[in-house]
Structure 1
Amino acid sequence: MTDLVTRVAPPRAPALRRAAPALLGYVAVRALGLVVLTVWTAARGKSAYTLLTARWDALWYTRVAELGYGYEVRLPNGDVHSNLAFFPLLPWLERLLHAVTPLSYAGAGFTVSLVASLAAAWGIFAVAERVYGRGPAVYAVLLWAVLPVGIVQSMAYSESLFTALAAWSLYAVLTGRWPAAGALAALAGLTRPVGIAVVAAVWVAGIISFVRRRSSPDPHGARAGEHAPALARDARAERVRAPDGAPDTPRAPAVLPVALGMFLAPLGAAGYVLWVGRRTGKGPLGYLDVQAGWRNGFDGGAAFARFVADRFQSVPGAFAGGAIVAGVALVLWLYAVCVRQRQPLPLLVYAGVVTALALCASSYFGSKPRLLLPAFPLLLPLARALARTRTSRSVLLVAGVAVLSAAYGAFWLNGTGPP
């Protein structure tokens, strides 16, 4: 059987140089989206900058940055919208950048998102290159850029920041950098509630590492041919290369780094949730009460199913309902393909948890495409397919989708926009 591990990787260009084509393509796609949004919005007598920085959740983040926690809105129906629902890392960065630059809080949030989106694109490239090679990695980044709701990557929202932290945490897991993986997972847990997906990926990978070490007869703690980040193998016999030309080693990771990474991973999410519980006086589950005030929670998808079923009560709504069903089917099919192609387990766990939380939340159904934005491993099967296609065709296809995505993003933000 073909050896899945290359003991010594061939010389490789510096990481940023390898990622440069993907990052340049990403910048081009996002620039196109911003230009189209600016022109579209100006034609309507509005400000694109306001749409990107001072509406919807962006307002809640800037209020946290400026005023701290404790702000809430009481609705006529009795619901209470508290800013405790918003995790603190983005507002902290907004406050820091505002303090050291002339930027407003909104401008700081926009800047953080722009920088974080580039870091996210680079992280996606690094993960995809590690598993499948450079060609699929470039297309993975471009596919993430041209998603229909890709404009959110350029908004003062937390999706780009979270995706950057998640991607680099997963890369650290795949390359055996356990303390870094745990620290990045902790920061992801301070960014969005879905940070538990990153924590789950780190913990599953760590547990498997311990199990393999315990069951290994080798004095170094690994069977012959096994590799510490063997979780990064592709079962279709694609080579796993060491980062930056470093030699791969068959030895399992030491116990202490793995344990440290697993210890660090949940600290961000757990720390904030416990702090909210103490502040509200409702104990460890106080954050769930805060979310309930927004009519948000996890019900296994029952409310979403009712929402979709209601669309079919009228002919116009049936088109929307059909589109939603098709979109959900596509997401589930892509995840099934990821499983069938035997993606590394940390990626499957991460994407699975992100997808489950997005589809099974009980409120804000229009935000589900946005909530799926961080689930970039779902794009890897499409990226592999594009990499096998003639370059001229795949580039033309991506360019066409980028134009459609830019137009849709402008239409979306000038309409209902992301809730």
Structure 2
Amino acid sequence: MSTSSAPRSGPATQDKPGRRATTRRPWHDARHGLLRALVLFVGVRLAGAAVTVVMNHLTHRPLMKSLAHSWDSDWYLHIAAHGYGTRIWITPSGAVQTDWAFFPLYPGLIRAVTTVLPLTPGEAALLVAWTAAVVAAWGIYTIGHDLYGRGVATVLVALWAVLPHSVVLGIAYTESVFSALAAWSLYCVQKGRWLWAGALAALAGLSRPSGFAVAVAVAAAGVHEAIRRRGRVRPGVWVAVVLGPLGWIGYVLWVGEQTGDLLRGYFKVQDAWTSRFDFGVESLHFLKALFLHGGRFVYPMALVIVVIGVLLFGLLCLDRAPLPLVVFAGVLVLLVVGASGSFSSKPRFLVPAFPLLIPCARALVRAWRARPAQALLVGGTLTAVSLLYGAYLTTVAHSPL
């Protein structure tokens, strides 16, 4: 009798068929869970884009303006079309703001897309951002699934999709690209693929000023691995540690060379944009004025979100999450708390810090198992707030995003 027709209870059939089932099902479950998470993510973000388009219509603006031409977007599109050193802005205080403040990976991708596809720079920028957002969600799910299982991974992606500032994942901004590179670099560290981790970290360093956070996480993981193994690590670990920061360092030095001050030129460029690390001094002065004199709705909301971000980082540490995730999220939180600049933009800088959502995702999975109705209500409320607040930020708030 053949194996396929033998009784399942027979001793000959409990070996091979059983092993086949245990090796196929986890991959099938993971693939099914990933597809469901990505459909959920894309659905939420498409709904957010639709609400933004409707708000543009109601406020008599071009339908796609808030998606492709919001604040920093115009700078990226200009760099993609004309290159660096072709645009400046003089502020009322006399500061000269230049396009060197914007890192090159995203405009470079826009330029590449417009070279091979018949798209405008704005359309190419949205295509890159939306594609990168899906790739980032895929990476976030993969990390969550590897550490905590399908349920937590799905909720983690869903929470990332409904952050109050997740609207930036669907507009011409760099958060999508940075998040994708960060997630997959951290996953490669998790799986011991050090060369990939270092290469992706280097690309992340070319995506935005805070991109070096990935390199710091890779370096911390590499050093920890060396200590744990008493120095007996593969050469790839040290290659990743060295390779990771090269993208960020390379661009900083290039800007310094362009300005004639190799080591300080980039930081002078950022200083003209009031972007510097001052240990939170300027933010404290701003908050004092806000409490005394009030301000637009986005500012107290930004304060609430930043405080929640700090608290979530504390929970992440107590949750004993893997070191690279803690370091990556910690660097981003430190930059948000300690750097100057527009206070209304600070919550946006936390969007790539997806590890902060891990404790919430685990708690929601437990809540779903105990009280699914309440968990569903929380998820629905967060989604509604995200869609409406995102449209408000891009069409009504008139504050730097």
- The verdict on a shared fold, with TM-score over 0.5 as the criterion, is yes
State whether residues 342 and 400 of structure 2, in contact with CA within 8 Å, keep that contact through their aligned partners in structure 1: no
State whether residues 306 and 346 of structure 2, in contact with CA within 8 Å, keep that contact through their aligned partners in structure 1: no
Q: What's the CA shift string for 1:233-275, capped at 9, x where partnerless?
A: xxxxxxxxxxxxxxxxxxxxx4211122112111110111111
State whether residues 288 and 297 of structure 1, in contact with CA within 8 Å, keep that contact through their aligned partners in structure 2: yes
Matched residue, 1:404 = 385
Matched residue, 2:375 = 394
Matched residue, 2:175 = 159
C-alpha distance in 1 between matches for 2:202 and 2:124: 22
Give the aligned residue type for 1:404.
V
State whether residues 122 and 172 of structure 2, in contact with CA within 8 Å, keep that contact through their aligned partners in structure 1: yes
C-alpha distance in 1 between matches for 2:119 and 2:268: 34
How many Å apart are 1:395 and its aligned residue? 3.1
State whether residues 152 and 361 of structure 2, in contact with CA within 8 Å, keep that contact through their aligned partners in structure 1: yes
Matched residue, 1:36 = 51
How many Å apart are 1:373 and its aligned residue? 0.7
* Residues matched between the structures, number: 373
Match of 2:61 among 40, 46, 49: 46
Judging changes above 3 Å, is the alpha-carbon distance between structure 1 residues 155 and 352 closer, same or farther for their aligned structure 2 residues? same
Which structure shows the higher helix fraction?
2
Give the aligned residue type for 1:405.
S
State whether residues 169 and 176 of structure 2, in contact with CA within 8 Å, keep that contact through their aligned partners in structure 1: yes
Q: Secondary structure at the match of 2:195?
A: helix
Matched residue, 2:132 = 116
Match of 1:13 among 27, 33, 36: 27
Give the aligned residue type for 2:60.
G
How many Å apart are 1:174 and its aligned residue? 0.7
Judging changes above 3 Å, is the alpha-carbon distance between structure 1 residues 324 and 158 closer, same or farther for their aligned structure 2 residues? closer
State whether residues 149 and 405 of structure 1, in contact with CA within 8 Å, keep that contact through their aligned partners in structure 2: yes
Deviates most, 361-370 or 391-400: 391-400
State whether residues 114 and 154 of structure 1, in contact with CA within 8 Å, keep that contact through their aligned partners in structure 2: yes
Tell me if 1:196 matches 2:212.
yes
State whether residues 123 and 168 of structure 1, in contact with CA within 8 Å, keep that contact through their aligned partners in structure 2: yes
Deviates most, 82-91 or 130-139: 130-139
State whether residues 33 and 154 of structure 2, in contact with CA within 8 Å, keep that contact through their aligned partners in structure 1: no
Give the aligned residue type for 1:148.
P
Matched residue, 1:139 = 155
Matched residue, 1:77 = 93
State whether residues 210 and 255 of structure 1, in contact with CA within 8 Å, keep that contact through their aligned partners in structure 2: no
Give the aligned residue type for 2:122.
A
Give matches, 1:205-284, under 5 Å.
205-214=221-230, 254-284=233-263
C-alpha distance in 2 between matches for 1:176 and 1:39: 46
Any stretches of 5+ residues in structure 2 without a counterpart? Answer: 1-21
Q: Secondary structure at the match of 1:309?
A: helix
How many Å apart are 1:321 and its aligned residue? 6.7
State whether residues 370 and 418 of structure 1, in contact with CA within 8 Å, keep that contact through their aligned partners in structure 2: no
Tell me if 1:27 matches 2:5.
no
Judging changes above 3 Å, is the alpha-carbon distance between structure 1 residues 54 and 263 closer, same or farther for their aligned structure 2 residues? same
Q: Secondary structure at the match of 1:81?
A: strand
Matched residue, 1:174 = 190
Q: Secondary structure at the match of 2:64?
A: helix
Matched residue, 1:98 = 114
C-alpha distance in 2 between matches for 1:81 and 1:320: 24
State whether residues 308 and 324 of structure 1, in contact with CA within 8 Å, keep that contact through their aligned partners in structure 2: no
Q: What's the CA shift string for 1:254-303, capped at 9, x where partnerless?
A: 42111221121111101111111111111122110110111110101111
How many Å apart are 1:322 and its aligned residue? 5.7
How many Å apart are 1:332 and its aligned residue? 1.5
Judging changes above 3 Å, is the alpha-carbon distance between structure 1 residues 336 and 271 closer, same or farther for their aligned structure 2 residues? same
Tell me if 1:285 matches 2:301.
no
How many Å apart are 1:324 and its aligned residue? 4.8
How many Å apart are 1:411 and its aligned residue? 1.5
Q: Which has the higher contact order (CA 8 A, sep 6+)?
A: 1
Matched residue, 1:346 = 324
Judging changes above 3 Å, is the alpha-carbon distance between structure 1 residues 95 and 30 closer, same or farther for their aligned structure 2 residues? same
Q: Secondary structure at the match of 2:89?
A: strand
Percent identity over the alignment is: 42
C-alpha distance in 1 between matches for 2:298 and 2:124: 36
Tell me if 1:329 matches 2:307.
yes
Q: Secondary structure at the match of 1:389?
A: helix
C-alpha distance in 2 between matches for 1:377 and 1:75: 37
Tell me if 1:88 matches 2:104.
yes
C-alpha distance in 2 between matches for 1:361 and 1:72: 23
Give the aligned residue type for 1:377.
P
TM-score, reference length from structure 2 = 0.89
Q: Secondary structure at the match of 1:283?
A: coil
Matched residue, 1:244 = none
Matched residue, 1:65 = 80
Matched residue, 2:9 = none
Give the aligned residue type for 2:391.
A
Q: Secondary structure at the match of 2:229?
A: helix
Judging changes above 3 Å, is the alpha-carbon distance between structure 1 residues 78 and 325 closer, same or farther for their aligned structure 2 residues? closer
TM-score, reference length from structure 1 = 0.85
How many Å apart are 1:351 and its aligned residue? 0.3
